[in-house]
C-alpha cells in the first residue's frame, strides 16, 4: 500500500502540471522527481502518469489515486490537527482567495486579525479578478460574490449584498435619469469585466415583470474600484455591488437610478471543499469571517 507521502507527492505533480514545476515546488531536481515517480509506479505495479515532452497525462489509475488519495490525506491531516488543537490551538497552512476590491476592503483585515489570534496558522491570501477559475481547488476558502454556477465546491453564506444602478449627480443633470431599463440602451454605461460573464447584458425585475437590456459601453475595466471612480467622475452608469457604492450614495457622490427596479442580488459567499473532513483551521476561519458581517454587514450600517 502506498504511504500518505507518496499520495502528497503525486498530488503535487497534478496540481503543478509538470515535473519541472513540481520539482520547484518540492525543492528537488526534475530528475529526482522523475526517479521518485518511477519508483512509485514500480511499487504499485502500474503506470500513473503518461509523460511526453510537451505535457503530462494522468492514467485512469493515477487519476483515481489522486481523487481518493486527496480525500484520505485531508482526513488524516484533519485528525492530526484536531489532536494538536487539544494541546494549544490551530496550526497549519490556510490558503484564501478573494475578489480584488472586496478582498482589499474586507477580507485582508479579517485574514490578518485571524492570523494574529492564531499565530501557528500560516495564511496566504490571493486577490484575483477571477477567483472562480480552474485553480479554485488549490485554495481552502474562495470568497465569491454573486451567483454560483455549477461547481463541486460547497457554499457558505457570508453576507447579503444587493446590486445598485448608479451614476453621479452631474451625469444625471447632463443626460437625465432613465425611466425604465430599456432607456439604458441609449445612455453611456461602464462595464465591469469579471468571471468571464456576459457583463453587458443587465437584468432587472419589478414584481412579476422582468427586463433585460444590452447596454453600450465605451469604458470597461476588470477592477470594480476603477469603474466606481469613473462613475463618480460622471463618465457613465454602473451596475455595482451595494458593498462598493453604499458609502458614495450616502455622501452624494453617486445616486441610485431606477430604484423601483431590482437587479439580481450578488450575495457574498465563501466556497470550500466538502463539508466533511474540513481542517479545523478552515472551519474556524469560516466562522470568523461570517461573524464579521453579522448581524448587519458594514455597508448597511
Give 148-159 pLDDT, tens digit per residue: 775 678 889 999
> Residue 216 belongs to what domain range?
163-256
Q: Tell me the C-alpha distance between 114 and 34, whole Å.
A: 39
pLDDT at 233 over 70: yes
Confidence label for 1 from pLDDT (cuts 50, 70 and 90): very low
Domain stop point among 83, 104, 135: 83
What is the pLDDT averaged over residues 78-91?
66
Q: Is the domain of 224 the same as that of 278?
A: no
Is the residue at 273 inside a domain?
Answer: yes
Higher pLDDT, 270 or 153: 270
Distances (CA, A) of 44 to 19, 87, 139, 160: 19, 37, 29, 50
Q: Tell me the C-alpha distance between 138 and 144, whole Å.
A: 15
Is the residue at 167 inside a domain?
Answer: yes
The lowest-confidence range among 43-57, 94-108, 110-124, 277-291 is: 43-57
Number of domains in the chain: 3
Domain stop point among 41, 64, 83: 83
pLDDT at 37 over 70: yes
Q: Is 96 in contact with 123 (CB distance < 8 Å)?
A: yes
Q: Is the domain of 70 the same as that of 103?
A: no
What is the percent of the chain where pLDDT is above 70?
90
Higher pLDDT, 180 or 25: 180
Contacts of 247 (CB under 8 A, 6+ apart): 299
pLDDT at 58 over 60: yes
What's the mean pLDDT when you consider all of the chain? 87
DSSP string, 175-219: H---SSGGGGGGS-EEEE--TT--TTEEEEEETTEEEEEE--EEE
DSSP-derived secondary structure letter, 300: G
DSSP E strand stretches across the chain: 49-51, 56-58, 92-99, 121-128, 141-145, 154-159, 163-167, 189-192, 201-206, 209-214, 217-221, 238-241, 255-256, 268-272
Amino acid at each position: 500500500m502506498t504511504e500518505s507521502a507518496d499520495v502528497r507527492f503525486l498530488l503535487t505533480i497534478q496540481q503543478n502540471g509538470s515535473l519541472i514545476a513540481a520539482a520547484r515546488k518540492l525543492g528537488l531536481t526534475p530528475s529526482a522527481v522523475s526517479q521518485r515517480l518511477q519508483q512509485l509506479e514500480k511499487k504499485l505495479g502500474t503506470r500513473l502518469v503518461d509523460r511526453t515532452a510537451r505535457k503530462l497525462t494522468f492514467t485512469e489509475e493515477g487519476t483515481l489515486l489522486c481523487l481518493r488519495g486527496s480525500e484520505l490525506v485531508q482526513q488524516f491531516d484533519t485528525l492530526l490537527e484536531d489532536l494538536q488543537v487539544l494541546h494549544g490551538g490551530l496550526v497549519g497552512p490556510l490558503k484564501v482567495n478573494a475578489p480584488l476590491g472586496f478582498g482589499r476592503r474586507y477580507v485582508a483585515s479579517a485574514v490578518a486579525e485571524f492570523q494574529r489570534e492564531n499565530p501557528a496558522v500560516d495564511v496566504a491570501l490571493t486577490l484575483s479578478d477571477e477567483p472562480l477559475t480552474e485553480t479554485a481547488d488549490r485554495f481552502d476558502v474562495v470568497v465569491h460574490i454573486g451567483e454560483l454556477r455549477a461547481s463541486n465546491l460547497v457554499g457558505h453564506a457570508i453576507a447579503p449584498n444587493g446590486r445598485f444602478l448608479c451614476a453621479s449627480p452631474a451625469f444625471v443633470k447632463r443626460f437625465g435619469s432613465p425611466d425604465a431599463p430599456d432607456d439604458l440602451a441609449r445612455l453611456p454605461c461602464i462595464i465591469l469585466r469579471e468571471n468571464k460573464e456576459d457583463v453587458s447584458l443587465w437584468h432587472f425585475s419589478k414584481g412579476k415583470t422582468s427586463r433585460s437590456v444590452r447596454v453600450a459601453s465605451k469604458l470597461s475595466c476588470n477592477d470594480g474600484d476603477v469603474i466606481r471612480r469613473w462613475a463618480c467622475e460622471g463618465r457613465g452608469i454602473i451596475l455595482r455591488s451595494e458593498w462598493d457604492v453604499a458609502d458614495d450614495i450616502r455622501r452624494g457622490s453617486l445616486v441610485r437610478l431606477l430604484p423601483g427596479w431590482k437587479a439580481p442580488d450578488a450575495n457574498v459567499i465563501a466556497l470550500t471543499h466538502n463539508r466533511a473532513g474540513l481542517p479545523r483551521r478552515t472551519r474556524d476561519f469560516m466562522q470568523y469571517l461570517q461573524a464579521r458581517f453579522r448581524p448587519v454587514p458594514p455597508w448597511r450600517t
